[in-house]
Structure 1
Amino acid sequence: MTNDIVLPSTRIRGLNTPSISPAGWTLPPGYIHLGIAKEIGPALRELGVDPDPVIRDAGLDPRLFDDATNVIPQAALGRLLTLCVARTNCPHFGLLVGKRASILSFGMVGRLMQHSETVINALRALVSNLSIQDRVAVPSLAISGDMALFSYAVYRSESQSADQISDGAIAASVNVLRVLCGSAWHPTEVFLPRAIPVDSEPFRRHFRAPVRFNHEMAAIAFPTRDLHVRISGADPMLRAMLEERIGQLKGGSGSEFSDDIRRLLRTRLTSRRCSADDVAGLLAIHRRTLSRRLKGSGMGYRSITNEIRFEIARQLLEDTEVPLGQIAAALGYSEASAFTRAFRRWSGVTPTAWRTTDSLG
C-alpha cells in the first residue's frame, strides 16, 4: 500500500503544493494537522498493540507521528481509527485518544487559548481559528440563557470513523476546559452522535457528567457562568503575538469559498434555518455576491446545502440509532416522507435500506 503522506518539507501526494513545512502552510479542505491524533500511538501501546504495523496498514508512515504539526488527510485518519478499533477490540478508542490530549494538542490555537483573557475568549479563538490546523471538525459555541453549548461537527464525513473523531474531539475539549477552569470542572451534559455503547462507563468516567448518545451533534453543555472565568497566567503580549501570527496564516488561506460555506452550513443546518439570504448576511455580503462566488467554484447554494444534508444524514444513519423522523426534523424536513424522497434522490435507496446495509457490514 502506498503512503498518503510523506514527511515534512516534502509533498502531499496528489496536490501541486510547494515543498514547505506544514507548520507554515494553510491546510486544504479535508486535511488535518495530527494534533490530537498524535496520541493514537500511545493509546495503542497502552492497550498492548504495536502502533507501527497498524499505521502502515492505514497507508501512513509511522514517522509522521513524531511531530504533531505533520499533516494527514481525513480519509487516512478515518482508516487508521477504524483499524485501531478492530485491532484493539475497543469500541471507544477515539475517547482514549482524546483523553490523552492536552491544550497543546491544538497547536498554535491552543497556545492562544492559554493566553486568552477569559474562557469565552478562548473558546471563540478556537471557533474562529481552528481551520488553520483542522479542516475536518468544525467547532461552534452557542449561548442560551444560563447554558452554553460547545459543539463539534465532522464534515466531509464520507470517510470512516466520524464517531471516533467526534469522541476524541469532545474528550480533548473537556481536557482543555479543565485546564482553563480548573481540574475539578465538569460539564452539565455531553451529547455524542453515536449509538449507545455496550459499556458506557468509560465515557461517564472521563466526562464526569451524564452522556446522551444517539444525538444529532457532538457537544458539551455547561453553565454560562463558566465562560466568564479568567484564565490564570494569561500573557497579553504573547496573546497579541499569537493573534498576529494566526491572522497572517488566515490571510494567506487559499481555501475554496465553497468549502467555507460547507463548514458554516455543517454547524448550522441542524439547529436553525440556513437560507442563502441568511448565510449571505452572516458573511456580510449580498445574496447575489454569494451566488456569483459559488458559481465560480462550479456549485450552487442549493447543491451545497443538499450535499451537507446528505452528509449529516449518512453520519446519523451509520453511527447512531436516531429515528428517521428525528433525522428528518433535524435537517429541516416537515415530514419523514419528504426526507425519504430526498435521500432516495441522493443515494438511490431509502434511509432505512441505507441503515440496514450499513449495519450488515
Structure 2
Amino acid sequence: MSTLVRSASLTNYAEVARAAGLDPLAFLANAELDPACLHNPDLLVPSEAVRDLLEASALACGMDNFGLRMAETRLLSNLGVVALVAREEPTVRRVVRALIRYKHLLNEAAYAKLDEAQGIAVIREELFFGHAGSSRQATELLVGVMFRILTFFLGPAWNPSRVCFAHPPPRDPVLHYRMFGYSVDFKQDFNGLVCTTRDMDAPNPLADPVMARYSRQLLEATAGSGSMGAVDSVRHTLLVLLPSGECSIDRVAQQLGVDRRTVHRRLMREGTTFSEVMNTVRRELAARYTEDHARPLTQVAELLGFSALSAFSRWYKQQFGEVAGQRRRAIRRT
C-alpha cells in the first residue's frame, strides 16, 4: 500500500529547482504530481513520488545536496497543525516527542525515535517506502527539517554534537558544514542528529500549557488519536533492531510492550505476517545498501541482521534472483 506525505514536504522545491536551472512544473508532471502541491501544503500525495521527484531533480542538475537546499530555510509553520502542538510544549524534549508522536500525520513513510543515555540524546530519522530506490535527497531533507526545528527552540547558533547520514559524502560538503557545523559523518549506521540531554532539557519560553492542551485536542479530533497500525509499528521497530541482530518477533513484541501472539494477531488483521514485514524491510534496505559501493557486503549483512555474509548472500539471491556482488558490479557499469 502506498504511503502518503503532506505536500508541504515540497516547500521550497520550486525555488531550488529554478535556481538550479530546472523547470519545476515539468519535473512535477514527470513524477505525476499535481502542480497544486506547490501552493496547497495540506494535500496528501504519494511519498514515493516525492522521493523520486527529488532524486530526479538532483540528478538532472548535478546537485547531490538538492534535498538539503530545500531544508535550509524551512520554518516551524511548515508542519501545519502539528506545529501548533510542538510550539506549546514546555521543553525541547517534549517538542521532539510530540514531533515523533505525530510524524505519521506529516509523512507516513517517515520514522523517528529519541534515545537518551549517559548525557547523550540521539534523534534517529529513517524513511521506508517499501520499494527500492535512492532516498538520499528525501533523507537529507528530513534530517535538515528536524535540525531547523531544533534551532527554532535552541537558537540559530546551536549545533548538534554530530549529524549522521547512512549514505556516502557529497562531492562538496560545504552546504552540510554551513548548515550543521563540521561534525557531519557519512556512511553511518543511521540517519539523524546527536546532541546532549541538556539540549533536550532546555525550556521553551513560548510554551503555554493551556494552549498545548487545546492544540492536542484539536489535532487528535481532526486527525485521529495518532496511533500507528500494526504493520507500521513492526516495520519501524525492525529498522532499529535489525543492525543489532536481535530482530525476532519476541524482541519486537517486547519493544512494543505486548506478547508475540498479539503481534501475530494484529498483523493477521492487516493481512500479513511478521516474516513478510521483515522481508519487505530487508528488501528495501538491501537494495539501498547494495548501491553504496563504499559499504562492504559484510557490513550490509550486519545492518540487515544476518549473522554471516553467507546467510545474507543466500537470502539475497533468493529474493532478487542474482548475486549481490553481481548486482553491485552491474550498477557500477551503468
Asked if the contact 2:92/2:153 (under 8 Å) is kept, the reply is: yes
Q: What is the SS of the residue equivalent to 2:172?
A: coil
Percent identity, aligned pairs only, is 25
- Listed as ranges, the matches of 1:231-246 within 5 Å are 231-246=204-219
Q: Does 1:45 align with 2:18?
A: yes
Structure 1 residue aligned with 2:150: 177
The residue that corresponds to 1:187 in the other structure is 160
Q: Match for 1:243: what amino acid?
A: R
Paired residue type of 1:214:
K
Using a 3 Å threshold, how does the CA distance of structure 1 residues 199 and 29 change in structure 2: closer, same or farther? same
Question: Shift of residue 105 of structure 1?
Answer: 2.0
| Aligned-partner Cα distance in 2 for 1:185–1:116 | 19
Cα distance in structure 1, aligned partners of 2:209 and 2:225 = 25
**2-structure distance, mates of 1:111, 1:159:** 35
Q: Does 1:298 align with 2:271?
A: yes
Matched, 1:330 2:297: no
Q: Distance in 2 between matches of 1:294 and 1:44?
A: 41
On the 8 A contact 2:47/2:107 being kept in 1, the answer is: no
User: Which of these residues, 48, 67, 74, is aligned with residue 40 of structure 2?
Assistant: 67
Match of 2:238 in 1: 265
SS of 1:321's equivalent? Answer: coil
8 A Cα contact 2:110 2:125, kept in partner: yes
Please tell me the residue identity of whatever aligns with 2:16: A
Structure 2 residue runs without a partner (length 5+):
none
Aligned partner of 1:130 in structure 2 is: 103
Shift of 1:264: 2.9
Counterpart residue type for residue 103 of structure 2? L
Displacement after TM superposition at 1:29 (Å): 5.1
The corresponding residue for 1:163 is: 136
The letter of the residue matching 1:257 is: A
Which residue matches 2:178? 205
SS across alignment from 2:11: helix
Pick closer, same or farther for the CA change 1:107–1:272 going to 2, 3 Å. Answer: farther
Q: Which amino acid aligns with 1:178?
A: T
Equivalent residue for 1:12?
none
Aligned-pair Cα RMSD in Å: 2.2
Letter in 1 for 2:234: I
2:115 maps to amino acid: A
| Matching residue of 1:225 | 198
Are the counterparts in 2 of residues 132 and 249 from structure 1 also a CA contact under 8 Å?
no
Per-residue CA shift, 1:186-207, capped at 9, x if unaligned?
A: 0111111212222122211111
1:75/1:159 contact within 8 Å kept: no
CA contact (8 A) 1:139 1:267 kept: no
**Which residue pairs with 1:119 in the alignment?**
92
Counterpart residue number, 1:80 = 53
Which amino acid in structure 1 is aligned with residue 262 of structure 2? T
> 1:316, 1:322 within 8 Å by CA — same for their partners in 2?
yes
Q: TM-score under structure 2 normalisation?
A: 0.92
What's the secondary structure of 1:220's corresponding residue?
strand
- Deviation sequence 1:16-74 (CA, Å, 0-9, x none): xxxxxxxxxxxx85110022322211211233433222212222221221011111102
1:100-133 Cα distance to aligned partner (Å, 9 max, x none)? 2222222222332221110111111111111122
* TM-score calculated relative to the size of structure 1: 0.86
Residue aligning to 1:355: 328
Whole-Å separation in 2 of the counterparts to 1:140 and 1:272: 19
Q: Which amino acid aligns with 2:47?
A: Q
Instruction: State the Cα distance separating 1:254 from its structure 2 match.
Output: 9.5
Structure 1: state its 5+ residue gaps. Answer: 1-27
